[in-house]
Amino acid sequence: MSSSTSDHLSLGAVMFPWPAKMLRDFYFRIADEGDVDSVYLGEVICSKRSPFLKHYLPEITDRLTKGGKKIVFSSMALVGTADEVREMEELVEKTDGLIEANDVSLVRLLQGKPHHLGPFVNIYNEGALDFLTRLGAEKACLNPELPATVIKELAQKSTIPLEVIVFGRLPISISARCFDARAKGRTKDNCRLACLHHRDGLTISTLENQPFLTVNGMQTLTYGCGNLIQAIPELQQAGIHSFRLSPQSGDMVATASLFRKCLAGQIDATEASTLLASYHPEMPGFANGFLYGQPGHKFITDGPVLNPAPLKKTESA
């Protein structure tokens, strides 16, 4: 099953408020040097940030296409205001290419057409997956909360490829409220782009100064950087052959090469994690607890992810 040649490596949409030039330079480098098969493009979190990406979008798509990357356009995760609804309708009407739906409202617009499902559309079981597949989904990226046991069940029953996020701070919530704005005593409507200088999000600590979470506008992410590299062989065995890297401000080109090696079984997990840390000095540490059914902030470095511990049995209803 686990043939490395057919395994797919993708680069998720940038979730942080990077300025236009930084985005352009980042994607140009990915286009030229990044060893990924596909690239997701789009502002997923906040419509006020969309101008950053739009500024150089034609250049970026052009360069990525030339670099042999498949482009998928990501929708917003929480389509809230009437303006955002219109923006998404426009995305569906005008985009000449695949769209990744990150909100159910997009699925409605995309039904009957081939499309992808992003990690913000809830798929926890074969029933939901089957339903969405019949509406035209060709690929689905799973919610990072899912433990390996659920991923395996889904993979065995899926008729479309499933993707798992294996690197980057993991998204754990989305809100109609902007927390960057709140941290500065502003409201969302009057945010004055409070998030602007947070390349990897804003660190949130407990009252005892223990770093805890990362805030990115309306989104909350893990504080630890998601890293499932050691679990890749098991995920492959479970039937997962598509892996997503979520961009951080560190060296994503080196990260992609490292994961490619790992997909081919050419590098030891411990060594890979050490290298990964060196590519991302701004990341405080790693987290992979969700995959093990453990608290998500934990980084578990031993033992199989698909341990035989069954899911909790239910009492009779």
Partner 1 sequence: MDASTLSFRDTSSSARSFPFLSMSAERQDLFFSLALTALPRPMITPLCRIIVARLEHRVPGLKERLRPLDGKTVFIQPKDLTVGFLLSISNGHPHLTAISPESLSNKVEMDARLEASLEVFFHLLHGESDGDALFFSRDLKVDGDMSVVVALRNAMDGLGEDLLKDVFTLPRPFRSMFSQAGGVANRCLDRIIDPFLKKTAKLENRLSKMQAEIDALRHKEEGSPLKVVHNSIKKDQENNADLSETAKNAIELLAPAGTPAALRSAIDAGANAVYLGFRDETNARNYPGLNFTREDLKEGIEYAHQRGRRVHVAINTYAAAGHMDSWYKAIDTAAELGADALIMADMGLLSYASQHYPHLSRHLSVQAGASTPAAIQFYYEMFGINRMVLPRMFTLDEIAALKEKVPIEIETFIFGSLSPMSEGRCALSAYATGRSPNLCGVCSPAEHVRYKNEEGVLISQLGDFVINRFGKDEAAGYPTLCKGRYIPKGGEASYLFEKPECLNAAEYIASLRAAGVTSFKIEGRQRSRFYTTEVVSCFRALLDAEASGKSADSLPDVLNRLRDLAEGGEETRGAYRKGWR
By CB under 8 A, what part of segment 256-285 binds partner 1?
none
In this chain, which of 83, 104, 114, 301 binds partner 1, going by CB under 8 A?
104
Strand partners, 115: 137
Q: Is 246 in the site for partner 1 (CB under 8 A)?
A: no
CB count within 10 Å of CB 280 equals 22
By CB under 8 A, what part of segment 40-69 binds partner 1?
none
Place of tokens 């704005």: 181
Q: How far is the CB of 176 from partner 1 (least distance, A)?
A: 4
- Angle, CA 3 vertex, CA 300 and CA 155 arms, to 5°: 60
Q: How far is the CB of 210 from partner 1 (least distance, A)?
A: 7
Q: Which residues contact 97 (CB under 8 A, 6 or more apart)?
A: 71, 72, 73
Are 27 and 61 in contact by the 8 Å Cβ rule? The answer is: no
By CB under 8 A, what part of segment 71-90 binds partner 1?
77-80, 82, 84-85
Q: How far is the CB of 150 from partner 1 (least distance, A)?
A: 5
In this chain, which of 14, 53, 57, 154 binds partner 1, going by CB under 8 A?
154
State in Å, rounded, how far the first CA of the chain is from the last one: 38
By CB under 8 A, what part of segment 285-314 binds partner 1?
289-290, 293-297, 311-312, 314
In terms of C-beta distances under 8 Å and separation of at least 24 residues, what long-range contacts does 262-267 make, across chains too? 262/229, 262/232, 263/4, 263/7, 263/9, 263/232, 263/236, 264/4, 265/2, 265/4, 265/233
Q: x-or-dash pattern for partner 1, window 113-152, by CB under 8 A?
A: -------x-x-xxxxxxxxx----------xxx---xx--
In this chain, which of 25, 212, 274, 301 binds partner 1, going by CB under 8 A?
212
Distances (CA, A) of 155 to 21, 92, 123, 174: 39, 28, 12, 26
* Range in contact with partner 1 (rule: CB under 8 A) among 11-19, 44-52, 100-108, 262-270: 100-108
In this chain, which of 14, 165, 195, 213 binds partner 1, going by CB under 8 A?
213
DSSP per-residue codes, 78-117: ---SHHHHHHHHHHHHH--SEEEE-SHHHHHHHTTS-EEE
Q: x-or-dash pattern for partner 1, window 170-199, by CB under 8 A?
A: --xxxxxxxx--xxx--xxx----------
Helices 269-279 and 252-263: crossing angle in degrees, nearest 10, is 170
In this chain, which of 109, 240, 256, 272 binds partner 1, going by CB under 8 A?
109
In this chain, which of 3, 203, 266, 270 binds partner 1, going by CB under 8 A?
203
Q: How far is the CB of 286 from partner 1 (least distance, A)?
A: 14
Pick between residue 58 and residue 112 the one whose CB is nearest to partner 1. 112
